[in-house]
Chains A and B, each alone.
Chain A
Amino acid sequence: MWHAANMGWGLCPLLTSGAVEALQSHGSRALQERYLPKLISGEWTGTMNLTEPQAGSDVGALRARAVPEGDHWRITGQKIFITYGDHDFTDNIIHLVLARTPARPAGTKGISLFWCPKCWSRTMVRSARANDVRTVSLEHKLGIHASPTAVLSFGDNGGAIGWMIGQEIRGMEYMFTMMNSARLNVGLQGIAISERAYQQARDYAKTRIQGKPMTARGSGEHPIIDHPDVKRMLLAIKTRTEAARGLAYFRRGLDRSRPPHRRCRGACGGAGPGRSADPAGQGVVDRSWRREHLPRRADSWRHGFSSKRRRCAALSRRPHRADL
Protein backbone atom coordinates (compact mmCIF):
# COMPACT_ATOMS: atom_id res chain seq x y z
CA MET A 1 0.00 0.00 0.00
CA TRP A 2 2.80 2.40 0.85
CA HIS A 3 4.56 1.81 -2.43
CA ALA A 4 1.33 2.07 -4.35
CA ALA A 5 0.58 5.32 -2.57
CA ASN A 6 4.02 6.80 -3.05
CA MET A 7 6.79 4.72 -4.50
CA GLY A 8 9.32 7.54 -4.41
CA TRP A 9 8.98 7.69 -0.65
CA GLY A 10 8.69 3.94 -0.15
CA LEU A 11 12.12 3.23 -1.58
CA CYS A 12 13.81 4.58 1.52
CA PRO A 13 12.38 1.99 3.95
CA LEU A 14 12.91 -0.67 1.29
CA LEU A 15 16.64 -0.02 1.20
CA THR A 16 16.90 0.20 4.95
CA SER A 17 15.18 -3.14 5.26
CA GLY A 18 17.75 -4.72 2.90
CA ALA A 19 20.60 -3.22 4.90
CA VAL A 20 19.11 -4.55 8.11
CA GLU A 21 18.87 -8.05 6.66
CA ALA A 22 22.47 -7.97 5.46
CA LEU A 23 23.74 -6.76 8.83
CA GLN A 24 21.63 -9.25 10.71
CA SER A 25 22.80 -12.12 8.62
CA HIS A 26 26.49 -11.36 8.30
CA GLY A 27 27.53 -8.57 10.67
CA SER A 28 29.41 -9.36 13.84
CA ARG A 29 27.47 -9.43 17.07
CA ALA A 30 29.15 -6.25 18.23
CA LEU A 31 28.20 -4.49 15.02
CA GLN A 32 24.64 -5.62 15.34
CA GLU A 33 24.33 -4.67 18.97
CA ARG A 34 25.69 -1.21 18.41
CA TYR A 35 24.14 -0.14 15.14
CA LEU A 36 21.15 -2.25 14.22
CA PRO A 37 18.84 -0.57 16.74
CA LYS A 38 19.52 2.76 15.08
CA LEU A 39 18.53 1.38 11.69
CA ILE A 40 15.51 -0.46 12.97
CA SER A 41 14.26 2.46 15.01
CA GLY A 42 14.35 4.52 11.84
CA GLU A 43 16.88 6.93 13.33
CA TRP A 44 19.23 6.08 10.46
CA THR A 45 18.57 4.65 7.02
CA GLY A 46 20.57 2.28 4.84
CA THR A 47 21.74 2.23 1.23
CA MET A 48 23.24 -0.25 -1.18
CA ASN A 49 26.42 0.81 -2.99
CA LEU A 50 27.32 -1.56 -5.74
CA THR A 51 27.22 0.02 -9.20
CA GLU A 52 30.10 2.08 -10.52
CA PRO A 53 30.30 3.89 -13.85
CA GLN A 54 32.26 1.03 -15.44
CA ALA A 55 30.78 -1.74 -13.29
CA GLY A 56 27.05 -2.17 -13.76
CA SER A 57 25.94 -5.62 -14.79
CA ASP A 58 29.56 -6.67 -14.51
CA VAL A 59 30.03 -5.98 -10.83
CA GLY A 60 33.42 -7.69 -10.88
CA ALA A 61 34.82 -4.71 -12.76
CA LEU A 62 34.45 -2.43 -9.75
CA ARG A 63 37.39 -0.23 -8.80
CA ALA A 64 36.48 0.94 -5.31
CA ARG A 65 39.35 0.17 -2.94
CA ALA A 66 39.55 -0.42 0.77
CA VAL A 67 42.82 -0.39 2.69
CA PRO A 68 43.12 -1.37 6.35
CA GLU A 69 43.95 1.26 8.94
CA GLY A 70 43.82 0.22 12.57
CA ASP A 71 40.48 -1.32 13.36
CA HIS A 72 38.80 0.18 10.35
CA TRP A 73 39.26 0.58 6.60
CA ARG A 74 39.70 3.54 4.31
CA ILE A 75 37.43 3.36 1.30
CA THR A 76 37.94 5.24 -1.96
CA GLY A 77 35.95 5.13 -5.17
CA GLN A 78 32.84 6.37 -6.87
CA LYS A 79 29.44 4.71 -6.70
CA ILE A 80 26.46 5.57 -8.87
CA PHE A 81 22.71 4.95 -8.84
CA ILE A 82 22.55 5.03 -5.05
CA THR A 83 18.89 5.25 -4.15
CA TYR A 84 18.44 7.55 -1.17
CA GLY A 85 22.23 7.89 -1.12
CA ASP A 86 21.68 11.22 0.58
CA HIS A 87 18.54 12.79 2.00
CA ASP A 88 17.24 14.89 4.85
CA PHE A 89 14.99 12.30 6.53
CA THR A 90 17.61 11.40 9.11
CA ASP A 91 20.93 12.69 10.42
CA ASN A 92 22.90 9.66 9.41
CA ILE A 93 22.92 7.10 6.62
CA ILE A 94 24.64 3.75 6.58
CA HIS A 95 26.12 2.92 3.20
CA LEU A 96 26.81 -0.75 2.51
CA VAL A 97 29.69 -0.57 0.06
CA LEU A 98 31.38 -3.18 -2.08
CA ALA A 99 35.11 -2.60 -2.47
CA ARG A 100 38.25 -4.52 -3.26
CA THR A 101 40.90 -5.02 -0.61
CA PRO A 102 44.63 -4.94 -1.40
CA ALA A 103 46.15 -7.85 -3.30
CA ARG A 104 42.84 -9.49 -3.92
CA PRO A 105 42.02 -10.95 -7.33
CA ALA A 106 40.09 -9.16 -10.03
CA GLY A 107 36.46 -10.08 -10.63
CA THR A 108 33.75 -10.75 -8.10
CA LYS A 109 35.93 -13.02 -6.01
CA GLY A 110 38.09 -10.23 -4.63
CA ILE A 111 35.27 -8.09 -3.30
CA SER A 112 34.43 -7.42 0.32
CA LEU A 113 31.46 -5.67 1.91
CA PHE A 114 31.88 -2.64 4.14
CA TRP A 115 29.54 -0.44 6.03
CA CYS A 116 30.35 3.16 5.87
CA PRO A 117 28.32 5.82 7.70
CA LYS A 118 27.67 9.28 6.37
CA CYS A 119 28.74 10.64 9.76
CA TRP A 120 30.88 9.00 12.37
CA SER A 121 32.59 9.44 15.70
CA ARG A 122 33.88 7.10 18.33
CA THR A 123 30.45 6.51 19.70
CA MET A 124 28.51 7.31 16.57
CA VAL A 125 26.48 9.88 18.39
CA ARG A 126 24.30 12.56 16.93
CA SER A 127 27.05 15.17 17.05
CA ALA A 128 29.04 13.02 14.69
CA ARG A 129 31.61 14.32 12.26
CA ALA A 130 31.05 13.92 8.57
CA ASN A 131 32.73 10.95 6.97
CA ASP A 132 34.60 11.36 3.71
CA VAL A 133 31.54 10.64 1.55
CA ARG A 134 30.38 13.31 -0.86
CA THR A 135 27.20 13.50 -2.90
CA VAL A 136 28.43 14.51 -6.33
CA SER A 137 25.07 14.78 -8.09
CA LEU A 138 21.57 13.38 -8.37
CA GLU A 139 20.46 11.48 -11.45
CA HIS A 140 17.75 12.94 -13.66
CA LYS A 141 15.44 9.98 -14.07
CA LEU A 142 12.39 9.41 -16.23
CA GLY A 143 10.22 8.81 -13.22
CA ILE A 144 10.32 8.36 -9.44
CA HIS A 145 11.59 11.92 -9.23
CA ALA A 146 10.97 12.16 -5.51
CA SER A 147 13.58 9.55 -4.74
CA PRO A 148 17.12 10.96 -4.75
CA THR A 149 19.37 8.68 -6.79
CA ALA A 150 22.84 9.83 -5.92
CA VAL A 151 26.33 9.64 -7.31
CA LEU A 152 28.52 9.19 -4.25
CA SER A 153 32.23 9.81 -4.08
CA PHE A 154 34.07 8.05 -1.29
CA GLY A 155 37.45 9.18 -0.09
CA ASP A 156 38.07 12.49 -1.84
CA ASN A 157 40.09 13.52 1.19
CA GLY A 158 42.07 10.47 2.15
CA GLY A 159 39.43 7.78 2.36
CA ALA A 160 36.04 7.27 3.94
CA ILE A 161 36.20 5.31 7.16
CA GLY A 162 34.30 2.06 7.08
CA TRP A 163 34.14 -1.31 8.77
CA MET A 164 34.13 -4.70 7.14
CA ILE A 165 31.04 -6.87 7.35
CA GLY A 166 31.79 -10.55 7.86
CA GLN A 167 34.90 -11.99 6.27
CA GLU A 168 37.10 -10.62 3.56
CA ILE A 169 36.33 -11.49 -0.11
CA ARG A 170 32.86 -12.73 0.71
CA GLY A 171 31.30 -9.38 -0.07
CA MET A 172 29.27 -10.49 -3.05
CA GLU A 173 27.72 -13.31 -1.09
CA TYR A 174 26.75 -10.92 1.69
CA MET A 175 25.47 -8.31 -0.68
CA PHE A 176 23.23 -10.90 -2.22
CA THR A 177 21.33 -11.05 1.06
CA MET A 178 20.46 -7.43 0.61
CA MET A 179 19.88 -7.91 -3.07
CA ASN A 180 17.56 -10.83 -2.59
CA SER A 181 15.56 -8.72 -0.20
CA ALA A 182 15.49 -5.92 -2.77
CA ARG A 183 14.59 -8.30 -5.58
CA LEU A 184 11.60 -9.67 -3.76
CA ASN A 185 10.55 -6.22 -2.75
CA VAL A 186 10.87 -4.88 -6.28
CA GLY A 187 8.69 -7.76 -7.43
CA LEU A 188 6.12 -6.71 -4.85
CA GLN A 189 6.49 -3.14 -5.96
CA GLY A 190 5.22 -4.30 -9.32
CA ILE A 191 1.99 -5.33 -7.68
CA ALA A 192 1.75 -1.98 -5.96
CA ILE A 193 2.28 -0.04 -9.18
CA SER A 194 -0.07 -2.33 -11.04
CA GLU A 195 -2.78 -1.74 -8.46
CA ARG A 196 -2.30 2.00 -8.69
CA ALA A 197 -2.32 1.85 -12.48
CA TYR A 198 -5.53 -0.11 -12.38
CA GLN A 199 -7.23 2.33 -10.02
CA GLN A 200 -6.30 5.30 -12.15
CA ALA A 201 -7.26 3.60 -15.39
CA ARG A 202 -10.60 2.47 -13.96
CA ASP A 203 -11.46 5.86 -12.51
CA TYR A 204 -10.57 7.57 -15.76
CA ALA A 205 -12.50 5.11 -17.88
CA LYS A 206 -15.57 5.76 -15.74
CA THR A 207 -15.49 9.49 -16.31
CA ARG A 208 -14.19 9.88 -19.85
CA ILE A 209 -17.14 10.22 -22.23
CA GLN A 210 -16.35 9.13 -25.75
CA GLY A 211 -17.95 7.18 -28.59
CA LYS A 212 -20.82 4.79 -28.56
CA PRO A 213 -20.27 1.19 -27.56
CA MET A 214 -21.35 -1.47 -30.03
CA THR A 215 -23.82 -2.83 -27.54
CA ALA A 216 -25.43 0.51 -26.66
CA ARG A 217 -28.85 1.44 -27.92
CA GLY A 218 -30.17 4.88 -28.57
CA SER A 219 -28.21 8.04 -28.07
CA GLY A 220 -26.65 9.38 -24.93
CA GLU A 221 -23.26 9.80 -23.33
CA HIS A 222 -21.14 6.78 -22.68
CA PRO A 223 -18.02 6.52 -20.56
CA ILE A 224 -15.26 4.55 -22.26
CA ILE A 225 -15.55 1.79 -19.65
CA ASP A 226 -18.72 0.76 -21.52
CA HIS A 227 -16.64 -0.17 -24.54
CA PRO A 228 -15.99 -3.91 -24.42
CA ASP A 229 -12.32 -3.60 -25.33
CA VAL A 230 -11.65 -1.04 -22.61
CA LYS A 231 -13.44 -3.23 -20.11
CA ARG A 232 -11.40 -6.19 -21.28
CA MET A 233 -8.17 -4.29 -20.70
CA LEU A 234 -9.25 -3.21 -17.25
CA LEU A 235 -10.19 -6.74 -16.32
CA ALA A 236 -6.87 -7.98 -17.67
CA ILE A 237 -5.02 -5.58 -15.39
CA LYS A 238 -7.15 -6.52 -12.43
CA THR A 239 -6.80 -10.26 -12.87
CA ARG A 240 -3.04 -10.11 -13.40
CA THR A 241 -2.63 -7.88 -10.39
CA GLU A 242 -4.64 -10.13 -8.14
CA ALA A 243 -2.95 -13.27 -9.41
CA ALA A 244 0.42 -11.73 -8.70
CA ARG A 245 -0.77 -10.57 -5.30
CA GLY A 246 -1.87 -14.07 -4.37
CA LEU A 247 1.43 -15.55 -5.54
CA ALA A 248 3.46 -12.94 -3.72
CA TYR A 249 1.59 -13.24 -0.43
CA PHE A 250 1.80 -16.99 -0.58
CA ARG A 251 5.53 -16.78 -1.25
CA ARG A 252 6.01 -14.24 1.50
CA GLY A 253 4.38 -16.54 4.01
CA LEU A 254 6.76 -19.31 3.03
CA ASP A 255 9.76 -17.03 2.90
CA ARG A 256 9.25 -15.77 6.40
CA SER A 257 10.06 -19.19 7.72
CA ARG A 258 13.52 -19.18 6.15
CA PRO A 259 16.67 -17.31 7.00
CA PRO A 260 17.07 -14.28 4.75
CA HIS A 261 19.91 -15.62 2.64
CA ARG A 262 17.77 -18.60 1.66
CA ARG A 263 14.80 -16.51 0.69
CA CYS A 264 13.54 -15.34 -2.61
CA ARG A 265 14.78 -17.91 -5.04
CA GLY A 266 12.53 -16.30 -7.58
CA ALA A 267 11.43 -12.73 -7.35
CA CYS A 268 7.76 -13.30 -7.75
CA GLY A 269 5.25 -10.99 -9.20
CA GLY A 270 7.68 -9.00 -11.23
CA ALA A 271 7.07 -9.44 -14.90
CA GLY A 272 3.32 -9.94 -14.66
CA PRO A 273 2.44 -6.61 -13.10
CA GLY A 274 4.97 -4.92 -15.34
CA ARG A 275 2.98 -6.12 -18.28
CA SER A 276 -0.29 -5.29 -16.68
CA ALA A 277 0.70 -1.65 -16.35
CA ASP A 278 0.89 -1.59 -20.14
CA PRO A 279 -2.82 -1.76 -20.88
CA ALA A 280 -3.34 0.69 -18.06
CA GLY A 281 -1.18 3.11 -19.95
CA GLN A 282 -2.84 2.24 -23.21
CA GLY A 283 -6.29 2.70 -21.80
CA VAL A 284 -5.74 6.02 -20.16
CA VAL A 285 -2.98 7.81 -21.98
CA ASP A 286 -4.82 10.19 -24.18
CA ARG A 287 -4.27 13.87 -24.45
CA SER A 288 -5.37 14.71 -20.97
CA TRP A 289 -3.21 12.09 -19.40
CA ARG A 290 -0.04 12.33 -21.32
CA ARG A 291 1.59 14.45 -18.69
CA GLU A 292 0.61 12.08 -15.96
CA HIS A 293 3.31 10.17 -14.19
CA LEU A 294 2.09 6.69 -14.02
CA PRO A 295 3.10 5.28 -17.41
CA ARG A 296 6.52 6.84 -17.06
CA ARG A 297 6.83 5.59 -13.57
CA ALA A 298 5.83 2.08 -14.53
CA ASP A 299 8.36 2.28 -17.32
CA SER A 300 11.06 3.44 -14.98
CA TRP A 301 10.29 0.69 -12.59
CA ARG A 302 10.12 -1.96 -15.27
CA HIS A 303 13.45 -0.90 -16.65
CA GLY A 304 14.87 -1.55 -13.22
CA PHE A 305 13.32 -4.97 -13.14
CA SER A 306 14.39 -6.15 -16.56
CA SER A 307 17.86 -4.86 -15.97
CA LYS A 308 18.05 -6.86 -12.81
CA ARG A 309 16.67 -9.92 -14.40
CA ARG A 310 19.22 -9.61 -17.15
CA ARG A 311 22.23 -9.41 -14.98
CA CYS A 312 20.75 -11.28 -12.06
CA ALA A 313 23.48 -9.77 -9.96
CA ALA A 314 22.90 -6.23 -9.11
CA LEU A 315 20.71 -3.86 -7.38
CA SER A 316 17.11 -3.08 -7.27
CA ARG A 317 16.24 0.07 -9.07
CA ARG A 318 18.76 0.87 -11.69
CA PRO A 319 17.17 4.05 -12.94
CA HIS A 320 16.56 4.78 -16.54
CA ARG A 321 18.48 7.98 -17.08
CA ALA A 322 16.80 10.63 -19.12
CA ASP A 323 19.93 11.35 -21.09
CA LEU A 324 20.53 7.80 -22.26
Chain B
Amino acid sequence: MIPYSPPLNDMQFALEEVAALAEIGALPGCEAAAPDTVMAVLDEAAKLARDVLAPLNDIGDKTPARLENGVVRTPPGFKEAYRTYVDGGWTACLSNRSSAARRCRPWSRSPSPRCGTPRIWAGDFAHY
Protein backbone atom coordinates (compact mmCIF):
# COMPACT_ATOMS: atom_id res chain seq x y z
CA MET B 1 0.00 0.00 0.00
CA ILE B 2 1.22 3.47 -0.82
CA PRO B 3 0.79 5.63 2.26
CA TYR B 4 -0.93 8.97 2.17
CA SER B 5 -0.35 11.62 4.80
CA PRO B 6 -2.99 14.36 4.82
CA PRO B 7 -1.21 17.71 4.40
CA LEU B 8 -2.83 19.30 7.44
CA ASN B 9 -0.05 21.84 7.93
CA ASP B 10 -0.30 23.05 4.36
CA MET B 11 -4.06 23.17 4.60
CA GLN B 12 -3.90 25.15 7.80
CA PHE B 13 -1.48 27.60 6.24
CA ALA B 14 -3.68 28.09 3.17
CA LEU B 15 -6.81 28.47 5.29
CA GLU B 16 -5.35 30.89 7.78
CA GLU B 17 -2.95 32.91 5.66
CA VAL B 18 -4.65 32.92 2.28
CA ALA B 19 -8.34 32.28 2.88
CA ALA B 20 -8.37 34.45 6.02
CA LEU B 21 -10.12 31.86 8.12
CA ALA B 22 -9.91 33.98 11.26
CA GLU B 23 -11.78 36.81 9.54
CA ILE B 24 -14.48 34.47 8.33
CA GLY B 25 -14.79 33.02 11.82
CA ALA B 26 -15.25 36.53 13.19
CA LEU B 27 -18.26 37.27 10.99
CA PRO B 28 -21.65 37.28 12.68
CA GLY B 29 -23.16 33.82 12.52
CA CYS B 30 -19.89 32.23 11.48
CA GLU B 31 -18.48 31.78 14.95
CA ALA B 32 -18.42 28.06 14.41
CA ALA B 33 -15.85 28.52 11.67
CA ALA B 34 -13.20 29.50 14.18
CA PRO B 35 -9.77 28.23 13.13
CA ASP B 36 -9.40 25.85 16.07
CA THR B 37 -12.71 24.20 15.41
CA VAL B 38 -12.13 23.93 11.69
CA MET B 39 -8.75 22.34 12.21
CA ALA B 40 -10.21 19.89 14.71
CA VAL B 41 -12.75 18.86 12.11
CA LEU B 42 -10.09 18.53 9.45
CA ASP B 43 -8.09 16.39 11.87
CA GLU B 44 -10.96 13.96 12.03
CA ALA B 45 -11.46 14.07 8.26
CA ALA B 46 -7.77 13.28 7.88
CA LYS B 47 -8.24 10.10 9.88
CA LEU B 48 -10.94 8.97 7.49
CA ALA B 49 -8.67 9.74 4.56
CA ARG B 50 -5.57 8.10 5.97
CA ASP B 51 -7.02 5.10 7.79
CA VAL B 52 -10.09 4.18 5.77
CA LEU B 53 -9.90 5.57 2.25
CA ALA B 54 -6.20 5.49 1.41
CA PRO B 55 -5.76 1.75 2.07
CA LEU B 56 -8.62 1.10 -0.36
CA ASN B 57 -7.10 3.11 -3.18
CA ASP B 58 -4.86 0.35 -4.44
CA ILE B 59 -7.56 -2.27 -3.99
CA GLY B 60 -9.92 -0.15 -6.03
CA ASP B 61 -7.50 0.04 -8.92
CA LYS B 62 -6.69 -3.64 -8.91
CA THR B 63 -10.26 -4.80 -8.35
CA PRO B 64 -12.39 -2.53 -10.50
CA ALA B 65 -16.10 -2.08 -10.02
CA ARG B 66 -17.86 -4.73 -12.10
CA LEU B 67 -21.28 -5.52 -13.42
CA GLU B 68 -22.59 -8.94 -12.42
CA ASN B 69 -26.00 -10.08 -13.58
CA GLY B 70 -27.19 -6.53 -13.90
CA VAL B 71 -25.89 -5.50 -10.48
CA VAL B 72 -22.81 -3.35 -9.94
CA ARG B 73 -20.33 -4.53 -7.33
CA THR B 74 -17.90 -1.91 -6.07
CA PRO B 75 -14.41 -3.00 -4.98
CA PRO B 76 -14.08 -4.80 -1.64
CA GLY B 77 -14.27 -2.47 1.32
CA PHE B 78 -15.76 0.47 -0.56
CA LYS B 79 -19.26 -0.08 0.68
CA GLU B 80 -18.03 -0.33 4.27
CA ALA B 81 -16.01 2.85 3.78
CA TYR B 82 -19.16 4.61 2.61
CA ARG B 83 -20.92 3.37 5.75
CA THR B 84 -18.11 4.76 7.91
CA TYR B 85 -18.44 8.08 6.10
CA VAL B 86 -22.21 8.17 6.61
CA ASP B 87 -22.02 7.06 10.24
CA GLY B 88 -19.45 9.74 10.91
CA GLY B 89 -21.98 12.35 9.89
CA TRP B 90 -19.83 13.56 7.02
CA THR B 91 -22.69 13.55 4.56
CA ALA B 92 -23.74 16.80 6.16
CA CYS B 93 -20.95 18.37 4.14
CA LEU B 94 -23.26 17.90 1.18
CA SER B 95 -25.46 20.78 2.16
CA ASN B 96 -25.77 23.69 4.47
CA ARG B 97 -28.76 25.46 3.08
CA SER B 98 -32.16 23.88 3.18
CA SER B 99 -34.24 23.45 6.26
CA ALA B 100 -34.77 19.86 5.27
CA ALA B 101 -31.04 19.39 5.33
CA ARG B 102 -30.69 20.97 8.73
CA ARG B 103 -33.42 18.85 10.17
CA CYS B 104 -31.73 15.63 9.23
CA ARG B 105 -28.62 16.63 11.10
CA PRO B 106 -29.46 15.98 14.72
CA TRP B 107 -26.17 17.44 15.91
CA SER B 108 -26.62 20.62 13.95
CA ARG B 109 -28.44 23.52 15.50
CA SER B 110 -26.59 26.34 13.91
CA PRO B 111 -28.49 29.60 13.71
CA SER B 112 -26.72 30.57 10.54
CA PRO B 113 -27.93 29.15 7.27
CA ARG B 114 -24.86 30.50 5.55
CA CYS B 115 -21.91 29.11 7.36
CA GLY B 116 -23.58 26.25 9.12
CA THR B 117 -21.64 24.14 11.50
CA PRO B 118 -17.88 24.01 11.39
CA ARG B 119 -18.08 20.45 10.25
CA ILE B 120 -20.00 21.46 7.17
CA TRP B 121 -17.77 24.36 6.44
CA ALA B 122 -14.58 22.47 7.01
CA GLY B 123 -16.08 19.56 5.17
CA ASP B 124 -15.68 21.51 1.97
CA PHE B 125 -11.96 21.26 2.42
CA ALA B 126 -11.96 17.75 3.79
CA HIS B 127 -12.80 16.39 0.38
CA TYR B 128 -9.69 17.61 -1.33
Chain A residues within 8 Å of B, Cβ to Cβ: 1-10, 12-14, 16-17, 20-21, 24, 32-33, 36-37, 39-43, 85-90, 134-135, 137-138, 143, 145-148, 150, 185, 188-189, 191-192, 195-196, 199-200, 203, 242, 245-250, 252-253, 256-257, 260, 292-293, 297
Contacts and interface: CB of A to CB of B under 8 A. Distances in A.
A140 to B, nearest CB: 8
Interface residues of B, number: 70
Given A4-B128, A40-B104, A87-B65, 6 more contacts: A8-B57, A9-B56, A13-B94, A135-B70, A253-B19, A253-B21
A87 B74 contact: yes
Contact of A2 (B19, B24, B126): B126
A145 B81 contact: no
A195 B75 CA distance: 24
Say whether chain B's binding surface is mostly helix, strand, loop, or mixed: helix
Contacts of B126: 1-2
B100 A2 contact: no
B8 to A, nearest CB: 8
Nearest to B5: A199
Contact of A1 (B45, B70, B92, B98): B45
B19 A249 contact: yes
B72 to A, nearest CB: 4
Query: Which of B54, B92, B121 has most chain A Cβ within 10 Å?
Result: B54
Contact of B72 (A9, A24, A88): A88
Contacts, number: 209
A245 B60 contact: no
5 cross-chain pairs, A with B, having the tightest CB-CB distances, nearest first: A146-B60, A42-B91, A145-B64, A42-B86, A148-B65
A146 B61 CA distance: 6
A133 to B, nearest CB: 11
B109 interface: no
Say whether chain A's binding surface is mostly helix, strand, loop, or mixed: helix
Given A37-B101, A40-B92, A199-B5, A188 B127 contact: yes
B72 A256 contact: no
A272 to B, nearest CB: 14
B34 interface: no
A260 B125 CA distance: 17
Contacts of B125: 249, 252
A247 to B, nearest CB: 8
Contacts of A9: 53, 56-57, 60, 78, 81-82
Contacts of A297: 61
Contacts of A134: 70
B26 interface: no
Query: Which of B50, B54, B75, B94 has most chain A Cβ within 10 Å?
Result: B94
B60 A32 contact: no
B97 A41 contact: no
B72 A86 contact: yes
B114 A256 contact: yes
B100 A33 contact: yes
B86 A14 contact: no
A323 B111 CA distance: 52
A5 B98 contact: no
B75 A146 contact: yes
Nearest to A16: B94
Contacts of B95: 17, 20-21, 24, 36, 40
